[in-house]
């Protein structure tokens, strides 16, 4: 028999997966992105992944750029708004009589949002790779490795953004405050671990930076769980 926490995670996954936001992220956005890619000037799409600024922009790179610019914000806003909304509707009072730890509620929301948004981004990246292959772009070993690193970096941004969204969702008392904190503070925090890579510092330490991002995610979730457990619901 599944534990109460596992059932909670399943319910959150189903709830977020059926949301209109996720339907747009899974279906509409990839289609619009592909159409937008083909509408770009030929001078921008003439090269392949990893060719540099002078070689053009591949569909894989275009999809990765588009998803990375949106996915983190979407993940943070989804989980923060959901937590604040349920707090205001006194939903969590019902969990007091259930055999479940309070922090498991926000862990479940984090897992659900992270999983849903990550799947959407991986699907979009796979679609970009398929377009490149159809267009005759050869996928060499180094290019595949770069694509894998892009996906890993993308999931790192999503995880950290979702953790930031959980934190602000727990501490904020209104949806407006949570949204403002995420847009003007949270998104800057989410890219801090990636700044050395973007600035060309420590170029050979990609996986170390990913480990740092993972540690920050764990710390944020632990603090959020502690605050949520001690809060008056």
User: What is the tens place of the pLDDT at every residue in 178-222?
Assistant: 999 888 887 777 666 666 555 556 556 777 778 888 898 999 999
Per DSSP, the residues of the chain read: ---HHHHHHHHHHHHHHTSHHHHIIIIIHHHHHHHHHHHS-TTTSSS-TTS-TTS---HHHHHHHHHHHHHHHHHHHHHHHHHHHHHHTTGGGGGGGSSS-HHHHHHHHHHHHHHHHHHHHHHHHHHHHHHHHHTT----HHHHHHHHHHHHHHHHHHHHHHHHHHHHHHH-SSHHHHHHHIIIIIHHHHHGGGHHHHTTSSTT-HHHHHHHHHHHHHHHHHHHHHHHHHS--
* Model confidence at 46: pLDDT above 60: no
- At 93, is the pLDDT very low, low, confident or very high (cuts 50, 70, 90)? low
* Model confidence at 44: pLDDT above 90: no
Query: pLDDT value at position 232?
Result: 59
- At 167, is the pLDDT very low, low, confident or very high (cuts 50, 70, 90)? very high
When the pLDDT of each residue in the chain is averaged and rounded to a whole number, the result is 77
- At 59, is the pLDDT very low, low, confident or very high (cuts 50, 70, 90)? confident
* Number of domains the chain contains: 1
Domain with 58, as residue range(s), is: 4-230
């Amino acid at each position: 028999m599944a534990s109460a926490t596992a059932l909670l995670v399943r319910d959150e996954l189903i709830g977020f997966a059926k949301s209109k936001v996720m339907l747009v992220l899974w279906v509409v956005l990839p289609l619009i992105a592909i159409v937008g890619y083909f509408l770009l000037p030929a001078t921008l799409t003439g090269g392949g992944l990893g060719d540099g600024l002078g070689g053009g922009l591949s569909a894989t790179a275009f999809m990765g750029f588009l998803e990375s610019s949106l996915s983190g914000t979407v993940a943070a806003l989804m989980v923060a708004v959901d937590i604040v909304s349920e707090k205001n509707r006194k939903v969590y009072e019902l969990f007091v009589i259930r055999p479940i730890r309070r922090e498991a509620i926000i862990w479940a929301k984090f897992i659900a949002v992270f999983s849903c948004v990550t799947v959407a981004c991986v699907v979009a990246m796979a679609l970009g790779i398929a377009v490149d292959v159809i267009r005759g772009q050869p996928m060499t070993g180094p290019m595949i490795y770069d694509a894998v690193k892009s996906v890993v970096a993308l999931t790192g941004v999503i995880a950290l953004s979702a953790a930031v969204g959980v934190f602000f969702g727990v501490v904020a008392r209104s949806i407006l405050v949570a949204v403002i904190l995420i847009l003007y503070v949270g998104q800057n925090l989410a890219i801090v671990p990636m700044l050395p890579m973007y600035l060309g510092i420590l170029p050979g330490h990609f996986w170390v930076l990913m480990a740092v991002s993972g540690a920050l995610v764990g710390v944020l979730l632990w603090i959020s769980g502690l605050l949520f457990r001690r809060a008056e619901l």
